[in-house]
Amino acid sequence: MPSPFRPAARVVLGGAALALPVVVLSALSPGSGSQPDLTSRRLPGAGPPIDLQPTPRAQSAFRFEVTVSPQLITAPVDGRLILLVTRDGDTEPRFQPGWGARAIPMFGVDVEGLPPGRSAVIDGAARGYPLESIDRIPAGDYIVQAVLNVYTTFTRADGHTIKAHMDHWEGQQWNRSPGNLMSEPMRMHLDPAAGRPVRIALTRMIPPIEPPADTKYVKHIRFRSDILSKWWGHDIDLGAIVVLPEGFDEHPDAHYPVAYYQGHFPRTFNGFRETPPDPGMTGRARDAAQSAYRFYQDWTQGRMPRMLIVLMQHPTPFYDDSYAVNTANNGPYGDALTQELIPRVESRFRAIGQPWARTIYGGSTGGWESLAWQVFYPDLFNGTWTFCPDPVDFHYFQLIDIYEDRNAFHPNAEWATRGIRSIMRGVDDQVMMTVEQASHYEAVLGSRGRSGEQLDIFNAVFGPTDADGYPRPLYDKWTGEIDRNVIDYWSEHYDLTHILQRDWKAIGPKLAGKIHIYMGDTDTYYLEEATRLLEQFLESTTAPYYDGSFTWGERQPHCYTGEAEFPGQSVHQRILPLMAARILRTAPPGADTSWRY
């Protein structure tokens, strides 16, 4: 889920307002034949509020014609064209979309084989969010930008050929992915009644991302996965960020336990900083810097277990993260991570390399992954510390019961069928976004499950492949109608509570003492209800009893990781000692303890 575990997409450019070119599209009298007035004007204040449900009107000739500069590309291009409209001039429009109240008007269409210099059109028929159509943009002054999320053609080993966005180590962020094309932000006056096209040129390409540098304690690796490249018919990379303990270089004969940290695509390890807070820092920034510096001091001065921390990078053409398991739509990521990445990391960085010396932790998406890894690979790991996991029981797929509900947008009812089901709330239970709104938001960013967002990766991970090679969705993004034909597939493959119930006799003995769950009882994305059902089952187990733990945070939102023992304590500082204690307690006779210098 969107969380502190996934980097925010919004970027502030030095706090300064953007210097933007200005275009004014004036309303024309019928039949005048005049061209739009291109006189420069100053953008006024906030303007009138946008009416999200105005009276429908006939579709006009108002449209946006977007061309790709021949200086950017020389061959036809495929992708998703996204048009963004805002009144906020502090940042580029491409950095402003968001869930809930942060939404700005945006509209999207697929582009197939668009040659340089030829126009793609966004007109009144193109779907939008939160406005349904460009025809519903109130007349006024705006800043407009267009972005083309470029697609790659994949000829997969499952026999399907699809087009999707190839991650370029940005973590499936269309608004900052290297190689994507975009226009300059432009100030302009828009009025659908004008009945004339607005012409926009894509003249910029997002540049490559500079890889982070290694330090004494933080190392980065990236390599081509043979397993995934064969399945996707295209080179697919995996990566890892490895945090080394103090004394790693000075003790060349030492071998270490490993804590695998699951979560959204990490660029590097930001858990600690090697210098004290800057003198000019104040408020939360200073508190965060002080916390990170204290962790660094603990890590380097013998107050933390000497272990390897490994963060994994495994973006897919559908999301910033594969969910770390084998799936019909993403391919064999579980195999690639356990058979390629883990051996490579453990060999290069002198891990002990035995199951008793491996642990897992993570939150949100990483919470689901950490628990799934322990369940699907019970012999490979010696415990999971799982925080605020994505839905672990599909009776509560957030607030949707996939087994009983007929529609994702509202509870079962004959007449009360408005889209009232929430997907996001505050701790005070104020609804911040509905399932319907989140679905429409994603549908604008990408068709066929290609938005790169949360609901689409659920379909890509939990669901089967449709006849066209794309993920078959649980429900229709525009109507909410649930596809009953995919329920059994979801249940048998990825409903973790169901799988534990079904297979407890076989895997229960391998999981005793290994499962530790943390959850706020007011999770922002309603993940606590599924976790309570998991807790009910595990607490009922016998032969063996699961012998793990559930820790609940009262009135705690997403993503609760337990109570801090001192101000600013990180999850690593709190959890790694628990892991080390279990490793020592369960180590076999004669186990390697060279890491305890």
Distances (CA, A) of 578 to 289, 366, 471, 545, 573: 25, 18, 39, 20, 10
Q: At residue 434, what is the residue type?
A: T
Query: E strands within 365-405?
Result: 384-387
What tokens does 585 get? Answer: 């307690």
Residue 534 or 56, more confident: 534
Least confident of 3-12, 61-70, 161-170, 561-570: 3-12
Distances (CA, A) of 455 to 408, 439, 451, 475: 12, 7, 9, 10
Among 88, 211, 69, CA closest to 148 = 69
What tokens does 55 get? Answer: 């009276």
Domains and CATH numbers, the chain: 22-205 (no CATH), 218-393+495-586 (3.40.50.1820), 397-492 (no CATH)
Cα–chain center distance at 25: 37
Do residues 260 and 358 touch, judged by C-beta distance below 8 A?
yes
Rounded to the nearest integer, the mean pLDDT of the chain is 91
Q: Is the predicted pLDDT of residue 8 greater than 80, yes or no?
A: no
Q: Is the predicted pLDDT of residue 502 greater than 60, yes or no?
A: yes
- Tell me the C-alpha distance between 180 and 173, whole Å: 10
Distances (CA, A) of 199 to 80, 121, 444: 18, 9, 21
* Residues 6 or more apart in contact with residue 353 via CB below 8 angstroms: 255, 346, 347
Query: Tens of pLDDT along 134-192?
Result: 999 999 999 999 999 999 999 999 999 999 999 999 999 999 999 999 999 999 999 99
DSSP result, 101-118: GG---EEEEEEEEEPTTP
Least confident of 21-30, 191-200, 440-449, 493-502: 21-30
| DSSP tag of 571 | H
Query: Tens of pLDDT along 330-375?
Result: 999 999 999 999 999 999 999 999 999 999 999 999 999 999 999 9
Helix (H) or strand (E) holding 299: helix 283-300
Helix (H) or strand (E) holding 494: helix 487-494
* Residues 6 or more apart in contact with residue 314 via CB below 8 angstroms: 238, 239, 265, 321, 322, 324, 333, 336, 337, 341
Per-residue pLDDT band for 60 (boundaries 50, 70, 90) equals: low
pLDDT at 22: 44
Of all residues in the chain, the percent with pLDDT exceeding 90 is 86
Query: Tens of pLDDT along 247-266?
Result: 999 999 999 999 999 999 99
Per-residue pLDDT band for 2 (boundaries 50, 70, 90) equals: low
Count of CB atoms within 10 A of residue 316's CB? 26
Helix (H) or strand (E) holding 251: none
Q: Is the predicted pLDDT of residue 206 greater than 70, yes or no?
A: yes
Q: Is the predicted pLDDT of residue 42 greater than 80, yes or no?
A: no
Give the bridge partners for 360, in sequence order.
260, 384
Distances (CA, A) of 347 to 36, 54, 244, 262, 266: 65, 62, 14, 20, 22
- Tell me the C-alpha distance between 433 and 424, whole Å: 5
Question: What φ, ψ does residue 122 adopt, rounded to 5°?
Answer: -115, 110
pLDDT at 74: 93
Question: What φ, ψ does residue 587 adopt, rounded to 5°?
Answer: -65, 140
pLDDT at 19: 46
pLDDT at 98: 84
Among 133, 173, 171, 170, CA closest to 149 = 173
* Residues 6 or more apart in contact with residue 584 via CB below 8 angstroms: none
What tokens does 134 get? Answer: 């460009």
pLDDT at 416: 87
Query: Tens of pLDDT along 89-136?
Result: 999 999 999 887 889 999 999 999 999 999 999 999 999 999 999 999
Does the pTM of the predicted model rise above 0.85? yes
- Tell me the C-alpha distance between 354 and 366, whole Å: 22
pLDDT at 34: 34
Average pLDDT value for residue range 444-451: 98
Give the bridge partners for 23, in sequence order.
188
